[in-house]
């Protein structure tokens, strides 16, 4: 039996997918299919930014910051830090918290493309 472990950021992405408003029933979709649907929606809604931003990951980072309906990730600093601390991140100083928050959306974008490539 193969067990799959997902990173903190990958879990956030997987748990935040919401395809209901796009009339897509997820009950018959596996994780890879859901990620592919999100990617397709991203391209339709924000694909024009890929060239301007210089890469898919940068554009996706920006897309996430706009709080797209398809991915309802935690976005309030309090919730982001609480989730991280609950998962064992050592964020005891203001500087550590600030650094974590500054990299949060970038790390989510990287995790999304890791999932897209590896699921």
**pLDDT tens-digit map of 5-35:** 789 999 999 999 999 888 888 788 888 999 9
What is the b/e burial string over 52-73, where b = at least 16 CB atoms within 10 angstroms of the residue's CB? ebeebeebbbebbeeebebbeb
The pTM is what?
0.90
Mean pLDDT, range 64-88, rounded to an integer: 94
Mean pLDDT, range 54-79, rounded to an integer: 94
> Are 113 and 60 a contacting pair, CB within 8 Å?
yes
Q: What is the pLDDT of residue 32?
A: 92
In whole numbers, what is the pLDDT of the chain averaged over residues? 92
Q: Domain residues of the chain, as ranges?
A: 8-118
Distance between CA atoms of residues 12 and 14, nearest Å: 6
Residue 43 pLDDT > 90, yes or no? yes
Give the orientation angle of helix 56-65 with respect to helix 31-46, to 10 degrees: 90
């Amino acid at each position: 039996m193969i067990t799959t472990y997902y990173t903190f950021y990958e879990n956030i992405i997987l748990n935040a997918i919401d395809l209901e408003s796009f009339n897509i029933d997820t009950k018959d979709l596996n994780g890879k299919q859901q990620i592919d649907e999100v990617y397709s929606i991203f391209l339709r809604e924000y694909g024009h930014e890929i060239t301007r931003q210089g890469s898919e990951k940068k554009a996706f980072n920006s897309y996430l910051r706009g709080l797209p309906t398809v991915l309802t990730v935690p976005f309030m600093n309090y919730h982001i830090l609480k989730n991280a601390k609950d998962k064992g991140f050592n964020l005891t100083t203001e500087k550590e918290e600030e650094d974590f928050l500054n990299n949060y959306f970038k790390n989510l974008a990287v995790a999304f493309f890791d999932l897209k490539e590896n699921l």
